[in-house]
Each structure stands twice: as structure tokens, then as C-alpha cells.
Chains A and B, each alone.
Chain A
Amino acid sequence: MYEAEALRNWSEREKLRVIIKEMAQKLWAWRSLFLLIPGVNSKKKQMCFDWGPGEMLVCETSFNKKEKSEMVPGCPFIYIIRKDVDVYSQILRKLFNESHGIFVGLQKIEEELTGKSRKAQLVRVSKNYRSVIRACMEEMHQVAIAAKDLASGRQFSTQVSILSAMELIWNLCEILFIEVAPAGPLLLHLLDWVRLHVCEVDSLLADVLGSENPSKHESFWNLVTILVLQGRLDEARQMLSKEADASPTSAGMCRILGDLMRTMPVLSPGSTQTLTELELKWQHWHEECERHLQDGTFASSPHLESLCKIMLGDEAALLEQKELLSNWYHFLVTRLLYSHPTVKPIDLHFYAQSSLDLFLGGESSPEPLDNILMAAFEFDIHQVIKECSIALSNWWFVAHLTDLLDHCKLLQSHNLYFGSNMREFLLLEYASGLFAHHSLWQLGVDYFDYCPELGRVSLELHIERIPLSTEQKALKVLRICEQRQMTEQVRSICKILAMKAVRNNRLGSALSWSIRAKDAAFATLVSDRFLRDYCERGCFSDLDLIDNLGPAMMLSDRLTFLGKYREFHRLYGEKRFVDAASLLLSLMTSQIAPQSFWMTLLTDALPLLEQKQVIFSAEQTYELMRCLEDLTSGMPVRGEPDAQRLQDDDIETTKVEMLRLALARNLARAIIKEGSLEGS
């Protein structure tokens, strides 16, 4: 039993069985639509609410403004409501993480693969999904055992039983829909399925064999019966030989029954035997069993006789073992094993239905799990998915199973348009749930990517809501958007970050985000802040950034100016006065510099004009003079002057006078220099 190690402890299993029963009832309870909000009196008050990206706010209010009821609300709380509870489970995170890898791999399975190799690959994918479920179940079980308080222990146990139910359903779907086992092998698969999921027998086996006198063990006959019910006849025979050794009186009978067990024809994988041959042999064997029963071979041992009846597929004898069978699908498989070993897939539903009816015997009604399995036996994939969606608490199961079945091309044949759409619908729901979680959202991205119809637009809506709490997170979100050419989202995110940086007076960061957002208006705004800061403090911050703007400088005129103006300062600092001077002049003549800044630029020219050597040529000096005159003539006529303005005007007038003087002197020197140069 390759995976039967899941739960070894017998008593644990017993406890689990009770819980599974409880769970089944709960599954129905979950259908209830209601979430109760504590403290709110729905008879008197109403609730106001708001949607958030992953949560919902709810709070008590009274909308009817006309009838003034009690002032203060009865419930002073605001509630935060979340949707997918499972997203927040630590253990299930592993399920989400690991299945994500399998999912992405499945999407990449080459379409060209056909026939057997494709099927083999899909079966492998299915088994991978199941082993992730199993691993998760295993871990959840450990946690359940280790749980300190009863309540959380029960909670985890419930989770275990849900996972176990998921695996049970998935396994059956794998056999019927993916493996598509034909008559013959079908039963072998179903036997494995039952053995895997009704595995108490292994611990019992160990228990009995470990006892001093196995055949006298109180559970000895239960064990043998279970082994026979599960078709584990070799082990059953070994047990019978222990009984034969211990009680000589029944040794003969044990040997005969053992022989019947040994000779039961089974389909061995890889043999060339045809189904007809098998059926023929099986018929002979069946008749032999029948004869022994008729002859009263086992009449003196009720245990052995009952075993023989089981092997004859006697329904009454089987139903006597209800306790040991534990469920109707075990009953179904045992019944098939001993009466219709070559059952065809198409006939399964008939036996399944009658087994369910016989097993429940009208005492109880089918539970959700029963309905799901029944739908699978009926090959009604749509019904399976629908029932699972009702019964299970998260979208993980249906989304992944549906996607896999879609890759098996099963949904198309079921109903082309609806089929592919159902896959997308479920994947979108699952991915949206992941986006409610602060880190799992990253898995959600890939699921959206593989939804051709609404995946992209859903991703756009979700991803822009990811809180940009750290730079690292922002960059991660941006990368995802950039990879998918989501230009509007990239712009918006950068803009948000630029705005945040400006508000916090981090101008460098603001500038680089607005460049990334390609937001010219905002780049202008931030550039102005830089220039204003420069005018106030006389130095630039974030030199690294401004010095290395490169082509980004072209985003806005003001940014260009900022970059060029800083370049002027660098040239000046490097004493490259001639270059600095012509750059300064060009900033004005090319109109890159805003007029409001010209006075600052002209003032910056002053020290250059005062240098020992002539830096501005005569022509350049004329240009500078023109700029100065443009600026002064353009100055507005002022209204009523106040003291402060008079003082400002005074400073301004002095500045202009100084500039005029310096320009005139420079012009004189330049003319002389240029004249003498030409002359020489």
C-alpha cells in the first residue's frame, strides 16, 4: 500500500471516522448562506459597508434619517469580513504553493503530445496534485494530534477530513476521467482506491500479527474479513494458515478456502489474457465456490462460511459486514470484485446506485460526499464539480481539478463553450482569493495569466490594489506589470510612489518615480521643487540622480532645464568657464529656462563676467544684454507699493544695475580682445 502510511494509529482513525461523519453534516451546514455579525440587531438597525481589495467593512447604522431612533448604535464595532478562510491557514499555504508549480507545469504541457504519452503525463500531474494533498493532510494530522486544546484539535481534524475527502474524490476522478481505465483494469484501480482510503486494516494487521497468538486475537476474524473484502487474498490466506495451525479441527476447511483464494482468477497487468478468457476462468472458479457452499464444506465454521459467501458476492453476506466495509463505495467495489470483476465503465453507475441504496437501506440519506462520488460514477463531470463547489470550503480543489480535466479535453466534449468558461470562472475565483492574502497574491498572478478571457483585466484590477508598503514590494509589483505591458498600472503605481515621496519631501525619489511613470507634469512639478530648494539653499540635493538623468531629461522642459542647469554648475565647478558660459546663455536663448528663473541665471553669469580673462564674447554679451532687457521690460507695472515690496524692488534694481555694469565692462573687454586678436 504505497501511501497507506498516512494514518497508522487505529484509535486515531476511529476518532477520525467520527469526525468525518460530523464533517459530512457540516458540509451541509456550510450551505447556509449566513454569516452572523455579533452585536448587530438586524430587527432594528441596518448595516453600512464597504468593499476593500480583500476584505469588507461592516458596521451598524440606521439609514432612515427621518425616524430618529436611538442615537448611539447598539453595536459600537466595525467588523472586518474576509472571504476565503483557507487562504490564511499556514498549512494550506503549502498546498497553494506546491500546487501552483504543478499548475504552471500543466499549462506548459505541449499540446502536440497526443495519445499515450499525453495521457501518461496527465496522470502524472494528477498524482502530483494528490501527493500534495496527502502531504498537507499528513502535516495537518500531526498538528491536530499536537494541538493543545480540544477546539483547535477538532478544527485541524476537520481540515484533515476535508483534505482526505478531496483526495478520495480526486483519486476516483483520476481513475475514471484521466486514466480512463477499461473493463478489467478498472476494477484493479478501484480496489487500490478503496485500499488506500480504508486503510485501518494495516494497523490492525500489525496489531494481530504482533500478538502472541494471532488466531486467538479478538479482532482476528474481523481482520481476515476485511482482507477478503478488500481482495487482499494472499494476506487473508496467510492468516487462515495461522488459524489452521492453531486449531486442527478447522485445518481442512481453512486449506480448502485458502485454495479457493489462491485460485481466484485475477487480471494480472501485462498478461496477454483476454477478458473473455478471464471471465470464463472466473465463472469456473465461482461455480467451485458455489459447490463448496452447497456441499456444506464450511458448515461447521460460521466464520469460514461467511467468508465463502463474501467471495461469492452474496449481497446479504456482504451487508452483514457493513461495519467493516464502513461505506457504500467499499461495498460497491467488493461487490464488483466478487460478482462482476470485468465491469465496464458504462455500467458502473448502475452498480454504484444500487450499492448506495442497499448500503444505506433507507436508514439515512446520502451526504454530499456520496453525491459527489455518485456523480463521478455516472461520469457526470459537471455535476462532480458543481457538488464539490457546494461542499468544499475553498476554490482550490475545483479550480485545479477542473483545469486538469479541461487539459484532458473532457470539458469540451461535455459542452464546448460552457466547459472552457467554467475552467476560467473557477480559476478566477481561486486567484482572486489568493489576492486577498499579503503574500499569496504572487501565486494568483500566474493563474490570471492562464485565463484567456478575463484574466488580464482581473489582474489589472487586483494588482493595482496591492499595498505598496515597501520599495521592494513596489518593485515586485512593477516588474509583474511591466512584464505584461500593463502600462497604465505601471504609470499609476509610479505616480502613487512619486506623490508619496513628494509628500515626504524626498525629491530625488519623487523625481525618479515620475520619470518611471513618464509623467511630464509631475516631473515639472518636482523639478520646480528642486529649483526652488536650490534658490533657497544654494545647493542641489540628489546630485547623483540629476547628473545621470540621460535621455530621461527630455521628459519635460523643466526637467531638461534642471539637468542642464546642474550641468552648468558642474562645468563651473570644474572651471570650464567657456563651456559653462555658453551653456548658461543657451538656456535662456533657447527658452528652456523659465523666465522666472532668468534673473537667477543672469546673476550666475556675474562671476563669469568678473573673471580676469574674457569669457563671454562680444556677441554672447549682446545676447545676455538682450535677455536682461527682455526681462526688465517685461516686469509688470506694480500697484500700490508697500514697504516690503519697495525693499524688494530696491534689491532687484541694484541687481539689474550691477548686471548692466558688468555686462558693459565685459563687452568693452571682449571688443578689445576680439579686435586685437583679429589684428594680430
Chain B
Amino acid sequence: MFVARSIAADHKDLIHDVSFDFHGRRMATCSSDQSVKVWDKSESGDWHCTASWKTHSGSVWRVTWAHPEFGQVLASCSFDRTAAVWEEIVGESNDKLRGQSHWVKRTTLVDSRTSVTDVKFAPKHMGLMLATCSADGIVRIYEAPDVMNLSQWSLQHEISCKLSCSCISWNPSSSRAHSPMIAVGSDDSSPNAMAKVQIFEYNENTRKYAKAETLMTVTDPVHDIAFAPNLGRSFHILAIATKDVRIFTLKPVRKELTSSGGPTKFEIHIVAQFDNHNSQVWRVSWNITGTVLASSGDDGCVRLWKANYMDNWKCTGILKGNGSPVNGSSQQGNSNPSLGSNISNLQNSLNGSSVGRKHS
């Protein structure tokens, strides 16, 4: 692993989120300076900020891209109790000449009465939908019925979680065998300890989301949650950022065995747990094939985890700040990276297999 490039972010306050688009050719950043910036990669590989605008009247916690099937669409959520959907407008010749693009607000989702802590687009096979969660403990699912008219979003579902919500993750599986599913994490730190991760599943008959599972063992505040890409597996893998990194598998119990019509029940197993971050873990995220999990924690590091063959997970890489101040140009290309900076503790991963292997 090596640093290929560094880009001066030029935000006036803390950056809270960075987000690649689907193809990795664009990225978006959001900050406490209430703005979102969009960056585009040129043919030569340089990154240029092509848009920067004030999006909210409070810190912007998260920014995320819709699937390109729906065009160039971003969603953001903020401390100002709203989430917003943004669309890039093509063709303003003045902007184009200046190498700038123009983003317009398509909608403001104002249903939350508290800070909106996370926003995630649903998997594309479900259509253009997004979920938000907020400190008031409610997950809201919105849908844009007409993908060509992003100013119309209807609130489809409100799921009450009873606990201040910090994070959500859609189950990406597009298998017909799996109903739409969303996992919600809570960072509620009140002393009455309750399970902090709930999983809701869509019921075709009632057309509502119903609670399928609660991870009883996770009782500490949860900061992030992430389903792994499915890879055709029958079961699901869920990573959780709490006081440590945890990885769970959720195996659906066969339908015939459960009462028909009710939510799917799962056999839940913890397959890995790491306290290497020493304290709170804030983010977890899978690579696109679900073979590597990255986590970020209070130790200031991003750690990479990979499963070996016997579901034995190991650290395969650590990104660590070197602590020294940065100086120099705004964009440092490094076209000829040094081999010496390579991380190649491949031993750990050698025996591994991707997360996605089917359990026989």
C-alpha cells in the first residue's frame, strides 16, 4: 500500500466524511463548515474540486452518492435536523468553462426533529430510495417514485428504534430470497443498557418494516455498522463499530420453521472481535468485494482486516498518522511509488479466503 496522492481539502472546519462515487472517479467531502465539495479526477489522474457549496446550516455529518443509474445525485445529512438530496445540472456553459459543475438542491427532508446522523441510499434494485436516521431514534425511508423528478420524495416508512440512532446500513443482497433489510446502530450512552443494534426487515404482506433481530450482545454505544457485499451467499455478514470491531454472521433460519408471514429469524454468530483500536471504533466499511474490512478508531489508525479460511480474521494493514506537519504543494503526485513503502504482510491473508465463501 502506498500514498498515491494528496489533495488539499480546503475545508474551513473539520471534515466529517469522504465518499467515492460508484466508479471511483469522483469524490465528495463534507465538513463542519456546512459545505459539501465535489472532486473530479481528470484523465491525467489529478483531482480538481469542481463544486463547493453551502448545504446545511449546521455540521454536515455524512455525504453519499446514489448509484449512477439514477444520475449524479448526492445526499447529505446534518446537525441542522435535515437531510438533503442534490443533483448535478449539466450544461451551464459558464460553469463548464470554469471547470465547475452546478449542483441544485432537489429536496430537503425535514421530518426529523433532531440531528440527522446518517443517510444511505438503498441498493439500486429497490429503486431510488434512501434511509436516514436521527438522534430522536427514528429511521425514515424515503422514495423518489419518478427517477427523473428528484424533487418529489415521499416518506414511506418511519421505524421507531427507541434509542438515539447513529448509523444505518442496507443489506446489499439483491437475491430474491432476501427481503429488503436495514440494520440500525445506536450510540445512546444512557445507563439503562440495552442492545444497540436492531435489524429490520420489510414484510411483503404488511408492507411494513418489522424488527427481525436485536443483537443482544452489543450493549455499548455503536458508531457505525456495515453489511458486507453478498457474493451470492445465503447468509449475511455485518460489521459493527463499537468499543471494538465486531463481525457477525446472520444465517436465516429456514422459513418453514418459523411462523409464516413473520419476519425472518436469524442464527447470529460473532465471528471476529478486535480491540486493537484500544478504545472507541468509529467507522467500519467493506471493500467492494467484501474481502477486506476497514475500521477507524480512537487510536487514530485505520486498520484492515481479512478473513482466512477458517473464519479466522487478521489484521493485514494499518494506516497510521506519522504526526509530522505537512508542507508542500497542494497536490503531490507520486507516479513512481517506492517499493519500500509497501505493506505486504501477506501471510495473514494467505490462508484466507474472501468473506464470501459459501459455508458448506
Contacts and interface: CB of A to CB of B under 8 A. Distances in A.
Given A74-B325, A390-B347, A80 B320 contact: no
Interface string A15-48: 0000000000010011111111111111111111
Contacts of B319: 34-35, 37, 47, 49, 58, 81
B302 A58 contact: yes
B353 interface: yes
A36 B6 CA distance: 13
B326 A56 contact: no
Interface stretch (B198-206, B210-218, B261-269, B278-286): B278-286
A454 to B, nearest CB: 6
Interface in A62-81: 62-65, 71-81
Given A34-B320, A42-B300, A78-B29, A421 B339 contact: no
A47 B282 CA distance: 9
B23 interface: yes
B343 A32 contact: yes
A486 to B, nearest CB: 13
Given A45-B300, A46-B298, A59 B343 contact: no
A467 interface: yes
B346 A79 contact: no
A42 B350 contact: no
Contacts of B280: 63-64
Contact of A429 (B19, B342, B349): B349
Interface stretch (A313-321, A495-503, A575-583): A495-503
A488 B351 CA distance: 32
Contacts, number: 299
Interface in B292-330: 294, 296-302, 309, 315-326
A465 interface: yes
Contact of B282 (A32, A46, A389): A46
B352 interface: yes
Interface stretch (A222-230, A268-276, A455-463): A455-463
B90 A503 contact: yes
Interface in B1-31: 1-20, 22-25, 27, 29
A305 interface: no
B201 to A, nearest CB: 23
Given A32-B343, A465-B23, A467-B25, A41 B300 contact: yes
Contacts of B185: none
B20 A492 contact: no
Nearest to A385: B350
B357 to A, nearest CB: 7
B340 A26 contact: yes
A47 B300 contact: yes
Nearest to B39: A78
Contact of B323 (A40, A48, A488): A40
A371 to B, nearest CB: 12
Given A35-B317, A503-B72, A76 B323 contact: no
A37 B9 contact: no
Nearest to B125: A488
Interface string B135-149: 000000000000010
Contacts of A386: 347, 350-351
A49 B321 CA distance: 13
Contacts of A385: 350
16 contacts: A30-B340, A32-B345, A34-B319, A38-B6, A38-B324, A39-B325, A48-B18, A55-B20, A57-B18, A59-B15, A75-B325, A76-B11, A85-B337, A418-B309, A457-B356, A499-B69
Given A36-B322, A54-B24, 17 more contacts: A30-B340, A30-B345, A38-B322, A46-B298, A48-B16, A51-B286, A53-B23, A71-B32, A72-B13, A79-B3, A80-B47, A82-B1, A82-B4, A85-B2, A392-B346, A461-B229, A496-B68
Q: Which 3 A-B pairs have the closest CB atoms?
A: A42-B300, A40-B321, A39-B326
